[in-house]
Chains A and B, each alone.
Chain A
Amino acid sequence: MKAIICAGTPTSGKTTVLKHVISKLKKKGHRSAFLKIDVQYADEDTLFKEEFGIPTRKVYSGELCPDHCNVMVLGDAIEWAEKEGADFLIVETAGLCLRCSPYIEGSLGIVVLEATSGMNLPRKVGPMLSLADIAVVTKIDLISQAEREVFRARVLEAAPEISIAETDALHGIGIDPIVEQFCKSESVNYPLYLRGNPPVGTCTICVGKKEIGWKQHFGVVRPLENQNFYRGE
Chain B
Amino acid sequence: MIEQISIIGGFGKNGQPEPVKRVDFKMGDVISIVGQTGSGKTTLIDDIELFANENTPSGRKILINGEAPESRFSNNVSNHPIALITQHTNFLSDMQVYKFLLTHASIRGSKDPSAIVEETIDFANQLTGEAIDLNYAMTELSGGQTRALLIADAVIIGNSPIILLDEIENAGIHRTRALDLLKRYEKIFIFVTHDPRIALLSDCRIVMKNGSMNDVITTGVEERKVVEVIKELDDLLLDFRMHIRNGSVLTEKIFEDRLKSVKCLNN
Contact = CB atoms under 8 A, between A and B. Distances in A.
A148 B77 CA distance: 7
Interface in B84-128: 84-85, 88-95, 100, 103-104, 107-108
Contact of A150 (B89, B103, B160): B103
Contacts of A142: 88, 90, 92
A118 B93 contact: yes
Contacts of A149: 77-78, 104, 107-108, 158
A84 interface: no
A118 B88 CA distance: 18
B89 A166 contact: no
A146 B157 contact: yes
A68 interface: no
B104 A146 contact: yes
A143 B92 CA distance: 7
Contacts of B188: none
Contacts of B77: 145, 148-149, 152, 166
B50 interface: yes
Given A149-B77, A173-B50, A119 B93 contact: yes
A148 B265 CA distance: 49
B107 A147 contact: no
B178 interface: no
Interface of A is mostly: helix
Interface in A129-151: 142-150
B154 A145 contact: yes
Interface residues of B, number: 27
A150 to B, nearest CB: 5
B150 interface: yes
A144 B147 CA distance: 10
Nearest to B50: A173
Max count, chain B CB within 10 A of own CB: residue among A145, A150, A153: A145
A116 interface: yes
Nearest to A139: B92
Interface of A: 116, 118-119, 142-150, 152-153, 166, 173
29 contacts: A118-B93, A119-B100, A143-B92, A143-B93, A144-B85, A144-B90, A144-B91, A144-B150, A144-B153, A145-B77, A145-B80, A145-B84, A145-B154, A146-B100, A146-B153, A146-B157, A146-B158, A147-B100, A149-B78, A149-B107, A149-B108, A149-B158, A150-B95, A150-B100, A150-B103, A150-B104, A150-B107, A152-B78, A153-B103
